[in-house]
Structure 1
Amino acid sequence: MPVVSTPYPPGTPCWVDLTVPDQQAALDFYRDLFGWQGQRGSEEFGGYAVLTLKDKPVAGIMTAMAMGDTPPPPTVWTTYLASADAEATATRITANGGTLLFPVMDVGTIGRMLVAADPTGAVFGVWQPLEFFGAQIVNEPGAVIWNELNTSDIKAATAFYKAALDIDIAPMPEMPEYHGLKVDGRDVGGAQGLQHHPEGTPSHWATYFAVDDVDSTVDAAVRAGGSLLVPAMDTPVGRMGALTDPQGGAFWLIKPQPMQAG
């Protein structure tokens, strides 16, 4: 269902955002690519921008800022997993081999968040909704359609996400090499090993955006300064390709196969 009007079940990917050196350049790039609207937000929240599609929030973009003596975070799209209690989730993350990169913090009155790395090194966020529960448009052109864990150790990741976030990871019957992320028995994302990635690729979460035409969107992104990572290709689930934006943020595009009736 493209429009989401109720909070996401705990463990479900509920939001993505981009950390980037030049926020305005990123706002311009993704506006032209996906039709997103939005501008730099309140300085109280570091200028964090909530981007909208059809007047509903779909993603965030923020300026990468150094914290204390640490360097600014890399340019990356981060997947946030829903939680009913961020503090309790933080405790479960560390108890099961994960690492807190940013401890639980309040985001005004809209929610609580943390950023962590799983035992294989994949970085993700956790979002406890208060006034804001996450993306309100998904699974349609210009919006997130899939979140995917790419990990160096599926077995370790399976144990961690079950123990820390109640997410089940299991092979998909139709694609045994590919794994589904399940919450309450429902597919909410995917997981796979790194065998199809270049040597040295670290564990990471990937964000897929739906588009009407992968090839033309790839062309538009490259003309706007993006770089092609994976050329457009046909797969059993649809036509897809991967890019980096002009500042290095990697993401996937997909035009999914039409759902089969019956």
Structure 2
Amino acid sequence: MAALPEGTPCWADAMFADLEGAKAFYGDVLGWTFGESSSEYGNYTQAYSDGKAVAAIVPPMPGEPGVQAPSAWCLYFASPDAAATAERIRGNGGEVVMGPMAVGEFGTMVIARDPAGAVFGVWQAGTHEGFEKQAAPGAYSWAEVISRDPAATDRFFPAVFPLTVKRMDSEQVDYKIFHAGEQPVLGRMTAAEASLPPEVPSYVSVYFAVNDTDAAIERLQARGGTVYFGPMDSPFGRFAVVGDPQGAAFGIIDLGTTEGDVPAMTDA
């Protein structure tokens, strides 16, 4: 596999207190199967769709008794040099929360926070290059930063990664799209337009593709999941923003069910 362009989303994982519960939920809702947990790396467990690696789940790291961070999906962006990316994060108003840290021969990771508070990861690939399947049912398809400070987010990502930003030509919504070359790789929506509750910080919303959004919602609700928004038709697919029983929010989208014309993009 050729190395992904710098700034391209390349992997997603999440931490769950109930790992077996997460396996049951995502196995049913997204059709995932799971590999063996790697005890050497904190029981990190890869998820597969059609035998191809699409994400991973992991139990919490040992910490203070009674302290448990809420479950959340973390999106990683490709970097040829995680240490250099970490310096640009710091130099542009972001925070490096963890790393750079080598993960055996698999690669080097950084966990960071943008100036608006959204957590994301950086991944310098070793033997693990990232998603083996994308934009197909059961796999990662898109992500967007839901930002409480959109101007800061708009400045930050193109300063840290070689990305350009375009604005969706719409009077209804303030939506930006970051591009790696000509490839759109990340959206940005304001917290107000996403109706983000005041207690929820900025975050990166990760979307996984499904065959049928409504059928996936039925399975999700039967497993104790929550629908926060939608389902709604769009030019990009029928989508919904949902949450799993352990509190991790994510999106689902049927890429084959579209409605309306794709809005034009203009330079931001």
Distance 1:45 1:210, change over 3 A: same
Does residue 120 of the first structure (1) align with residue 119 of the second (2)? Answer: no
Task: Tell me the distance in 2 between the aligned counterparts of 1:251 and 1:239.
Answer: 14
Q: Would you say the 8 A contact 1:19–1:75 is kept in 2?
A: yes
Q: How many residues align?
A: 256
SS at match of 1:120: coil
What is the CA distance between 1:50 and its match in structure 2? 0.8
Q: TM-score, normalised by structure 2?
A: 0.89
Does residue 164 of the first structure (1) align with residue 163 of the second (2)? Answer: no
Q: Deviations over 1:197-245 (max 9, x none)?
A: 2341321100111111111100101101111211312223221112111
Q: Would you say the 8 A contact 1:64–1:75 is kept in 2?
A: no
Task: Tell me the distance in 1 between the aligned counterparts of 2:206 and 2:125.
Answer: 21
Task: Tell me the distance in 2 between the aligned counterparts of 1:127 and 1:56.
Answer: 19
Q: Where does residue 181 of structure 1 map in the other structure?
A: 178
Does residue 31 of the first structure (1) align with residue 27 of the second (2)? Answer: yes
Residue correspondence of structure 1 range 130-145 to structure 2 within 5 A:
130-145=126-141
Counterpart residue identity of residue 16, structure 1: A
Q: Where does residue 265 of structure 2 map in the other structure?
A: none
Does residue 15 of the first structure (1) align with residue 11 of the second (2)? Answer: yes
Does residue 84 of the first structure (1) align with residue 80 of the second (2)? Answer: yes
What is the CA distance between 1:56 and its match in structure 2? 1.1
Q: Would you say the 8 A contact 1:96–1:163 is kept in 2?
A: yes
What is the CA distance between 1:169 and its match in structure 2? 2.5
Q: Deviations over 1:55-113 (max 9, x none)?
A: 11000101122446994432000110110000111111111111011121111101000
Q: Would you say the 8 A contact 2:238–2:257 is kept in 1?
A: no
**Structure 1 residues not aligned, in runs of 5+:** none
Does residue 109 of the first structure (1) align with residue 105 of the second (2)? Answer: yes
> Which shows bigger deviation, 114-123 or 176-185?
176-185
Counterpart residue identity of residue 73, structure 2: W
Q: Deviations over 1:145-187 (max 9, x none)?
A: 1011111222211211111122222202467621111112321
Distance 1:111 1:69, change over 3 A: farther
> Which shows bigger deviation, 191-200 or 62-71?
62-71
Q: Where does residue 247 of structure 2 map in the other structure?
A: 248
Distance 1:183 1:70, change over 3 A: farther
Counterpart residue identity of residue 239, structure 1: R
Q: Where does residue 56 of structure 1 map in the other structure?
A: 52
What is the CA distance between 1:40 and its match in structure 2? 4.4
Q: Would you say the 8 A contact 1:7–1:134 is kept in 2?
A: no
SS at match of 1:189: strand
RMSD: 2.0
Q: Where does residue 125 of structure 2 map in the other structure?
A: 129
Q: Would you say the 8 A contact 1:65–1:72 is kept in 2?
A: no
SS at match of 2:175: strand
Task: Tell me the distance in 1 between the aligned counterparts of 2:148 and 2:140.
Answer: 24
Distance 1:222 1:70, change over 3 A: closer
**Structure 2 residues not aligned, in runs of 5+:** 262-268
Q: 1:194 aligns with which of 169, 191, 196?
A: 191
Instruction: Report sequence identity in percent.
Output: 35
> Which shows bigger deviation, 32-41 or 167-176?
167-176
SS at match of 2:233: strand
Distance 1:257 1:117, change over 3 A: same
Q: TM-score, normalised by structure 1?
A: 0.91
Q: Would you say the 8 A contact 1:76–1:249 is kept in 2?
A: yes
Counterpart residue identity of residue 209, structure 2: A
Q: Would you say the 8 A contact 2:85–2:160 is kept in 1?
A: yes
Q: Where does residue 266 of structure 2 map in the other structure?
A: none
